[in-house]
Structure 1
């Protein structure tokens, strides 16, 4: 059988031919209705798309190679680490507020680690270095970092985060009381805050409750005298002290609950950095005392 189609002049050369045999084959082909794909298939595809998008976002991180200029013990399981950023002045200048942090990665290790910058913002521009307090945790990137040597090269990201918004607790006469809380390596960004200056000596009551297991685990003890001369009263709190310790014991939140001394709640600023349980319990105590949550500063 031959079929000729009536087509416009521009297609007049087209001729379609088919045979009875081929038509009968088409008639014998079974009709299969396509089944809709199950919901879990679409969920898997969506999750895969989200993972790909997240990976793409991660790839936008700008990594800068930088050598280690110092690694030294700061306390038990804690290390003082300095990274030379003198060849990256824009990166150094981007540290503008205490409490900011960076990501750090090491060649052959897939997972980067987040590190809060311990040095004050002006330090990087003046000295060409970022300083950190790093806790060595078994099996982590931080453990590998703490095992490196001076001169070894790591990669660091751009400076991240908004840091501690100390403008919210200014001027000093409006917020004469500032209570600061830190546990373990959480003292790192607190050092940046204290040494960058927030008019502590112009306030009547600035206290730092600093918790550690014992004095061997407490970093920056050599800086305490300097911090106190700037107007910060330091209250060390040890959870497992030896028999010679006569200071505060237990957890930071318990030590603060015993003292409190919040005389003007609406004139009180707070800075928190450390274990989640500590920050949550301290926040509850402060709010119950009438301190505004807007005046409780965190760096994450």
Structure 2
């Protein structure tokens, strides 16, 4: 990509205007401003051109994880510079198809250890009609995609360490927002050393809830899974409604001074849960988000 800058010969100065030119009182300043603005806009557009470095990598696995959700693995073993940028759970990157200009932002589902040890990125991708993500979900194993370097600070777990000082950690996720939560849980943050670690995971129904095959493994690390369904069938006996409503029913069950929280998912959920936490004494610094 090249960026063209204006050279002095292309610059516009009032001294360059011909003294014998005939302008009306209104034409002279407006004409000058139009020309100046046109050149400034052109320069700004050039500076805003995409400078992202893209790495082509093949899909090794693509499977349906739930209704409208797909589990995708990307082989990045030939890209050590890309691998080195994944250092924390909760980070994300840009994801696009070759020869297209419309990327999607995707949270990384796999923990950094997997990335560094076997050179694989894993994603939980929601197929949204008309989006790049939908096109990606229609690809096959062996097809190539393009990845940017990893972005974001991720979850700053140091803020709720050591484990004995924060025995309660409340985790909230909805839909594909459970993707970076998986990275967090499987990276390990001392859940087995804490007395109360809960994941409130919201979905419309069980068919839209990904990673159910991992729930037992997660619970074995000390994380209690609390599924919350907004549109369950008659057989469902667990929590119903939205995540924030399920949490509001148990507010009295934790000590805010020794509590941390991690949130990822639908905006209304994160805003309402954050408000509940703050209103009940949890420090804003201890409410972790991945942006």
TM-score bin (small chain): 0.7 to 0.9
1:241 alignment counterpart = 232
Task: Determine the C-alpha separation between the residues in 2 that align with 1:100 and 1:47.
Answer: 34
Q: Which moved more, 1:234-243 or 1:91-100?
A: 91-100
Deviations 1:154-196 (A, max 9, x none): 1101111100000010001111110000000000000000000
Map 1:17-28; keep pairs closer than 5 Å. none
Task: Please report how far the alpha carbon of residue 108 of structure 1 lies from its aligned counterpart in structure 2 after TM superposition.
Answer: 3.4
Task: Determine the C-alpha separation between the residues in 2 that align with 1:38 and 1:265.
Answer: 63
Task: Determine the C-alpha separation between the residues in 2 that align with 1:247 and 1:263.
Answer: 21
Q: 1:222 aligns with which of 213, 235, 239?
A: 213
Q: 2:29 aligns with which of 29, 33, 36?
A: 36
| Matched-pair contact (CA < 8 Å) for 1:109–1:141 | no
Task: Determine the C-alpha separation between the residues in 2 that align with 1:79 and 1:30.
Answer: 67
Which 5+ residue runs of structure 2 have no aligned equivalent? 1-19
Task: Assess, with a 3 A threshold, how the Cα gap between structure 1 residues 144 and 197 changes in structure 2: closer, same or farther.
Answer: same
1:286 alignment counterpart = 277
> Normalising by structure 1, what TM-score?
0.85
1:4 alignment counterpart = none
Q: 1:151 aligns with which of 127, 142, 147?
A: 142
Q: 1:88 aligns with which of 59, 79, 83?
A: 79
2:47 alignment counterpart = 53
Q: Answer yes or no: is 1:119 the counterpart of 2:110.
A: yes
Task: Determine the C-alpha separation between the residues in 1 that align with 2:232 and 2:82.
Answer: 41
| Matched-pair contact (CA < 8 Å) for 1:262–1:268 | no
Which 5+ residue runs of structure 1 have no aligned equivalent? 1-28
| Matched-pair contact (CA < 8 Å) for 1:99–1:164 | yes
Task: Please report how far the alpha carbon of residue 267 of structure 1 lies from its aligned counterpart in structure 2 after TM superposition.
Answer: 1.2
Task: Please report how far the alpha carbon of residue 264 of structure 1 lies from its aligned counterpart in structure 2 after TM superposition.
Answer: 1.9
1:16 alignment counterpart = none
Task: Determine the C-alpha separation between the residues in 2 that align with 1:272 and 1:180.
Answer: 6
Task: Determine the C-alpha separation between the residues in 2 that align with 1:64 and 1:262.
Answer: 47
Task: Assess, with a 3 A threshold, how the Cα gap between structure 1 residues 45 and 276 changes in structure 2: closer, same or farther.
Answer: farther
SS of 1:143's equivalent in the other structure is helix
Deviations 1:64-113 (A, max 9, x none): 11000000010010000000001112322321100011111102322011
